[in-house]
Structure 1
Amino acid sequence: MIEIKADTTAVTQALERLARSAADTSPVMRAIAGVMHDAVMENFDQGGRPAWVPLKPATLAQKRKLGYGDKPLIRRGGGQSLYSSITSRSDQNSAVVGTDVVYAAIHQFGGRTAPHVIKPRNKKALAWPGIRHPVRSVNHPGSLIPARPFLSLTDADEQKIVSKISDYLARAVGGSQA
């Protein structure tokens, strides 16, 4: 009988390093959260990937008048904007990118706002060009908001995430810190 004895020290050490790395995946989760955050910000910067439905001319004119720029879902100026509300976080088991802005879902998925009454804030009545006389209130039927999915990843973004995971595992097996 032939017996072959192999020194498996290197294999054993590599498996031990891999097991230690698998016990704390927070470094790779942090890297994944970074890739996802960058992807979401790129969606805003490019006006969607694929491109979002353009703003209506009246909406665009109002944004320009208020100094908010031309891009959908980005409001530069006063108050918190959807764009500036995007955050990322990660832990040992997850990587998350999102927002706590209440109106984010209707922009992500689209939909219709609820009917509501518009009343003047600082005056006794509302008036605008084309109306015969001032009115105390207006019944607004609600607005149709097109979907502009900002929380999305392209195939290239997903490839970056796979690459981060592959690099992490290669470093873990290779012996360097992840």
Structure 2
Amino acid sequence: DVMRGEETQIAGFLAENQTYSGTLCLPGTHTKWVALQDGRIERFRTFMTGETFALLSKHSVLRHGLSADDLDSTAFAEAAEHSFNAPEALTADLFGVRAAGLVADLGPAQASGRLSGLLIGAELAAVSRDFDLGNTALLGSDKIAGAYRSALTHLGHASRQLDAETITLKGLTLAYSFYEPEHS
């Protein structure tokens, strides 16, 4: 596994939470999960959930029934819970999104909500084995971070959402403070 920039956000978070023990979630195209113990990184893992959503919604048979703009929150929550409890059925459940659009009048916003919920629910099921979801800080202020927070809340896990831009600037400021330019 690798980090390419996320360590700056982690440093920014730790600047104000130096002894934090819990989980950080950095949602995005490649979502990072980081276990911290007393302000130290114990482990991290990356999930391609955002990229998978983009690929399925733009380049698969599912693209025909999805909304590009709307996501039904009820369909999202139900699908996240279902997938969290039965992640082994993910690929069958994904095709179920298409089937429900054909035979059960599943609307585009509901289909988008279901697709997102299935993917995030399966990710949370995998994460729950190695990370404490009961104490999660989400570093992000966009729709994606909101979706993770919604899924965690629906599954009964406490989380807080922090502005990623502010955290990143703190991390960059911290990195700069350690930089000493060479003198000629």
Normalised by the length of structure 1, the TM-score is 0.28
Whichever of the two has the greater Rg, that structure is 1
Question: Going by fraction, where is strand more abundant, 1 or 2?
Answer: 2
Question: Going by fraction, where is helix more abundant, 1 or 2?
Answer: 2
